[in-house]
Structure 1
């Protein structure tokens, strides 16, 4: 079978995810890097390879670059920049109007939850008209706390409950994201469940397993350090606030229950007592249980896997009809 020609790709965003994407694409046989956009004016005109730590590539970052600016030059955009839901909807709309596919790691995993029914209808219609495909993906959200529990639940004919929990180390996060939720140099500017809400993952899982949500709650509690540590120049003493547990729960009218937990700790240590990796447990009405565990380590960085998943989808999404897609409708192979 002949190999498909590589798709021309642009990377939007030059933070940690964007830098990983640039490095990966320089050696990718299926995606050909053509353009790089940045939201940081200090990076305007800087070679993308220099920003990514790999030397000159000939591709310079352009501040304020929009999808319409690369219309006709690229087939797909990897959206790697931090964005609010309104900003991402505008970005999707611009790309759809220009006939360019978008795979975002910043949201849009469950479009109806992210954008609302009216905006979704507009985006889908624009994408179909122009031949574009729009979606969001990643490791978390986009896989470990939504797609993976859905796949595991398929091993049980009628799941009565699904529980998934992921524990991560914030030391690998970008400084901007850590600062916004209060783990940088100053006070928090955003609540955890506003900036990193599990509502899209919960809605995607419920839709995938056929649960009609009657009630949804999202709570956040603090994690205190079980041992002293210093991370990125910040000293944390034993007993001090060092992370959070975000818990999202959905209950159906018939009593079926879905629970997702995201644990994030700065300088994760065994003494914190919150575990490691990702665990999924699915139980049926008779009490039969199916479990899955994805091992993690305290030093694991999820950014390369996030970008790799986005690139995988960006390569294969060309085989789908134009439209707006959730993470549960993306090609897997």
Structure 2
């Protein structure tokens, strides 16, 4: 098994999950670690994420980080509170220095063709200069809502419509930023259905564009809507309080218009309480311990219907996001030097422990 030399950047929620998994992987060697927080700089990377020391200490200099001799950088530094151009510039410096980059930062990067042309050109130029490859990935967008439905569509002779619906139970999530951004715990100032949601389109249009391109369809426009469901009692979560009568669940809906018809439909339901206070699909199956649910329905010949469930973790799907990013390292390190997406790079399981005789199946 080839062992890849990796430098890691970012120890927020998902970055910590990535680093903790990275340190346990037999196919990856941590060579360097960049941190912003003064209290983390100089500390052992293992200790920062709550495992045994590994002999690598976090540094605070981006110049020093760029000078490391590594195969790949796992870029998990957040874009929140930073200018997007500053994030892209950092990624370009890494690419220009000859390092491949895998990232879950800035979700539009999962499908670079949806980026503004000048931003995409900057990334492509950096890849060419450093003979390096780049891939943005994640769960949704990045796999369940776009790549997976494209793969499933390969089973259809004549797909007509694609519908993807997700439900994410966020009651375990402690970050107040997501809580506030979705308006949990607020009182609606008017209707609760069919509200315009254009402000969210920029975050999800890459997934719709990937889906359209994967099916060979021309995406004409995107119609965005938002629906709200109110709490039937008082709730208290680590991220914030939701009094009775305030927003407890939010559904974002996007229709991708192809040839004048909404042939691509995506929806995300975000809810704080586990018990459904709404009638939106998908619902949590009875007895399920999962916290993230995806339904993919393709009307075609033949029609295809798939249900996916992910369990546990503070942020549902966070562990899977981290694993997918690490599994992408091999594909990116062996890819053509340019900017990639899940439509042209297949990510497969890596670093899998050998099954031992006597282990149960």
TM-score range, shorter chain: 0.7 to 0.9
Residue of structure 1 equivalent to 2:85: 86
Match of residue 247 from structure 2: 241
Out of 283, 289, 292, which is 2:299 matched to?
283
Give the match for residue 113 of structure 1: 114
Q: Say which is worse superposed, 237-246 or 316-325, in terms of deviation.
A: 237-246
TM-score by length of 2: 0.80
Q: TM-score, normalised by structure 1?
A: 0.86
Q: Given that residues 176 and 240 in structure 2 are in contact (C-alpha distance below 8 angstroms), is that contact kept between their aligned partners in structure 1?
A: no
**CA positional deviation for 1:306:** 0.5
State the match for 2:131 in structure 1: 131
1:1-333 alignment runs, 5 A limit: 3-4=1-2, 6-63=3-60, 65-66=61-62, 69-83=65-79, 85-106=84-105, 107=107, 108-114=109-115, 116-173=116-173, 175=175, 177-178=177-178, 181=181, 193-194=199-200, 197-232=203-238, 234-253=240-259, 255=261, 257-274=263-280, 275-276=283-284, 277-284=293-300, 289-296=303-310, 301-333=316-348
Task: Pick which of 171-180 and 212-221 moved more.
Answer: 171-180
How far apart are residue 166 of structure 1 and its match?
0.9
Deviations 1:15-39 (A, max 9, x none): 1111111211111111111222223
SS at match of 1:74: coil
Residue ranges of structure 2 left out of the alignment (5+ in a row): 187-196, 285-292, 349-361
Report the secondary structure of 1:26's partner residue.
Answer: helix
Q: Does the C-alpha gap of structure 1 residues 25 and 166 become closer, same or farther in structure 2, counting only changes over 3 Å?
A: same
Question: Is the CA contact (8 Å cut-off) linking 1:227 and 1:271 kept in structure 2?
Answer: no
Secondary structure of the residue that 1:327 maps to in structure 2?
coil
Distance 1:57 1:185, change over 3 A: farther
Aligned residue pairs: how many? 323
Root-mean-square deviation (CA, aligned residues, Å) is 2.9
Structure 2 vs 1, CA of residues 158 and 119 (structure 1 numbering), >3 Å: closer, same or farther? same
Name the residue aligned to 2:354.
Answer: none
Counterpart in 1 of 2:355? none
CA distance in 2, matches of 1:243, 1:326: 31
